[in-house]
Amino acid sequence: MYVCSCFGITEQQVKEHAEAGAHTPRQIASACKAGTDCGSCVRRIQSLLGRGSCPRRDLLDQGRPALNAVAELKGVTELGEAA
């Protein structure tokens, strides 16, 4: 099954690159260009790599400002000081 329609990259190819040492979507992109055009395949690549979802993207999908919400979770104020 195709993962990246833009470059014709299959699940098997992504898995082969992962076995060869590409362990992040960026490393997969360097190996075969998957995820570098429209980006719609990046979540599928993350899933194939066992990385799960992207927390900041999940926050954005909920309509929340991702960086502020992440900072709040870590107890950091806008100025970068601990709360």
Residue 50: the pLDDT is 86
Which pLDDT score is estimated for 44?
Answer: 94
pLDDT tens track for 17-54: 999 999 899 999 999 999 999 999 999 999 999 876 56
Reported confidence tier of residue 78, pLDDT bands at 50, 70, 90:
low
Q: What total number of domains does the chain contain? A: 1
- Would residue 35 be called left, alpha or beta, if left means φ above 0 and alpha means ψ between -120 and 50 degrees? left
Evaluate whether residue 8 is within a structural domain.
yes
**Gyration radius from the chain CA atoms:** 16
Q: What angle do CA 55, 59, 26 make, to 5 degrees?
A: 40
Instruction: Please give the average per-residue pLDDT across 60-74, as a whole number.
Output: 63
Confidence of residue 66 (pLDDT cuts 50, 70, 90): low
How high does pLDDT run on average in the chain?
Answer: 81
Q: Does some domain include residue 26?
A: yes
- Give the domain range for residue 42: 2-74
Indicate which CATH number applies to the domain containing 9: 1.10.10.1100
Percent above pLDDT 90 for the chain: 58
72 CA to centre of own chain: 22
Residue 35 lies in a domain: yes
